Amino acid sequence: MSLHTLGWNDRLQALFESHRPLGLEPARVAREERDSYRVLHAAGEIPARIAGRLRHQVSSRIDLPAVGDWVALRPSDGDGPALIEAVLPRTGVFVRKRAGDKTEAQVVAANIDVVLVMMGLDGDFNPRRIERYLAAAWDGGAAPVVVLNKADLVADPQALVAEVEDVSPGVPVVCISASTGAGLDALERWLVPGNTVALLGSSGVGKSTLANALLGEERQATHEVRADDSRGRHTTTHRELFLLPCGAVLLDTPGMRELQLWADESTLIDTFPDIEALAATCHFRDCRHDSEPACAVRAAIERGALATERFESWRKLQRELRWLAGKQDVRIRIEKAAKWRAISRSRRFHPKVRRSR
């Protein structure tokens, strides 16, 4: 198995240099189980565990290996699993709240380049929700592409496409039918070798249908992998990282599918650049855009330059973020913001994939 087909590149090569003299080998995490991992390595898919040293080193769960991570692996010298001794620096992470009282972040996916934000053109259609998913994609350090699915169910999708383009400035919007295959070729420019792609969207929008269409005939082979477990028995495992026939890597995990919005306030600027720009010109710096004099936001609504629904949706997201921020473990919040803000900013202006409209 070639690591390059899984996204290995010069950046990772340079990051790995310090591990090589220690006898470690690079691998990518394909699946996380309760206490063990399946990793993809030059020798194929093998079982692995976290080395004790790494477990003691990390200051938070966020730093433990997750699906999509590149790791430094100590190969097994016998029957046991290989040991993950280090996690290479990530280009981004998707995190969610862990079930239970304590609000602690859990990484559901790492190193995603492109997120296909899916929405159905049927009853699921709701441009407001797109804004939430775009915010999540930026926050995870990935470039979003909006994929409007089930085009076969509507006579004229163009009006709906235009509505989505209004709420997603600068983000490509494509229209497809995952079940008939119509429009899938429009996704080719993002499904290129070396790119890791993930799907986001509500249940029922067609994520599985699209994943299967992209996997084509490889589907059975990749979904059901016969492998040797640590005791040498044959088992069937379910992988969450797939090499697509077109050469891109598809990351499809339950955690990614259930992703809850775990954004910080910087995402507001990514998702609502127009309102943020208006708000910056209000007379009062702490303007609440209610009834303050010389409020640029209200003025824009009154002259019809800003839709009331878009303003309400911005306010709702702001409220939720504030509520979430209050609940979040402060340390994680600070760590995460510091780590990823710079990355998502630089990627926004120099994305791997050129954005178009």
**Residues near Zn ion (CB under 5 A):** 282, 287, 289, 295, 297
Classify 227 in phi/psi space as left (phi over 0), alpha (psi -120 to 50) or beta: beta
User: Binders of ligand GDP among 139-168, rule CB under 6 A?
Assistant: 149-150, 152-153
Residue 255: what are its φ and ψ, rounded to 5°? -60, -40
Collapse the DSSP code of 86 into the 3-class scheme (helix H, G, I; strand E, B; otherwise coil) and give the result: strand
Q: Cβ distance 149 to 155 under 8 Å?
A: no
Which of 111, 177, 253, 271 touches ligand GDP (CB under 6 A)?
177
Residue 129: closest CA among 151, 152, 146, 142: 146
Q: Which does 328 bind (CB under 5 to 8 A by kind): Zn ion, ligand GDP, none?
A: none
Residues in contact with 10: Cβ distance below 8 Å, sequence separation at least 6, in sequence order: none
Choose one: 58-66, 92-100, 177-185, 266-274; the region binding ligand GDP (CB under 6 A): 177-185
Collapse the DSSP code of 142 into the 3-class scheme (helix H, G, I; strand E, B; otherwise coil) and give the result: coil
**Nearest residue (CB) to ligand GDP, 23 versus 204:** 204
User: Binders of ligand GDP among 4-63, rule CB under 6 A?
Assistant: none
Q: How far is the CB of 275 from Zn ion (least distance, A)?
A: 10
**Nearest residue (CB) to ligand GDP, 87 versus 115:** 115
Q: How far is the CB of 116 from ligand GDP (least distance, A)?
A: 11
Choose one: 75-83, 155-163, 199-207, 344-352; the region binding ligand GDP (CB under 6 A): 199-207
Q: How far is the CB of 147 from ligand GDP (least distance, A)?
A: 10
**In the chain, which ranges are continuous DSSP H helix?**
10-16, 52-57, 127-139, 158-167, 207-215, 219-223, 254-257, 266-271, 273-279, 296-302, 308-327, 330-349
253 touches ligand GDP by CB under 6 A: no
- Quote the longest CA-to-CA distance of the chain: 74
Q: Which does 282 bind (CB under 5 to 8 A by kind): ligand GDP, Zn ion, none?
A: Zn ion
What is the spatial distance between Cα 125 and Cα 129, in angstroms, rounded to a whole number?
Answer: 9
**Nearest residue (CB) to ligand GDP, 117 versus 306:** 117
Q: Which does 289 bind (CB under 5 to 8 A by kind): Zn ion, ligand GDP, none?
A: Zn ion
Choose one: 135-143, 172-180, 293-301, 328-336; the region binding ligand GDP (CB under 6 A): 172-180
Q: How far is the CB of 277 from Zn ion (least distance, A)?
A: 12
Q: Which does 216 bind (CB under 5 to 8 A by kind): ligand GDP, Zn ion, none?
A: none
Q: Which does 160 bind (CB under 5 to 8 A by kind): ligand GDP, Zn ion, none?
A: none
Query: DSSP letters along 7-54, please?
Result: T--HHHHHHHTTTGGGT-EEEEEEEE-SS-EEEEETTEEEEEEE-HHH
209 touches ligand GDP by CB under 6 A: yes
Choose one: 1-9, 102-110, 175-183, 290-298; the region binding ligand GDP (CB under 6 A): 175-183
179 touches ligand GDP by CB under 6 A: yes
185 touches ligand GDP by CB under 6 A: no
Q: How far is the CB of 172 from ligand GDP (least distance, A)?
A: 19
Q: Which does 297 bind (CB under 5 to 8 A by kind): ligand GDP, Zn ion, none?
A: Zn ion
Buried b or exposed e, range 267-293, using 16+ CB within 10 angstroms: bbebbbebbeebbeebeeeebebeeee
Amino acid making up residue 134: L
Residue 13: what are its φ and ψ, rounded to 5°? -55, -45
> How distant, in Å, are the alpha carbons of 6, 120, 318, 346 from that of 335?
28, 35, 21, 18
> How distant, in Å, are the alpha carbons of 15, 111, 229 from that of 8?
11, 11, 25
Binding site for ligand GDP (CB under 6 A): 149-150, 152-153, 177-179, 203-209
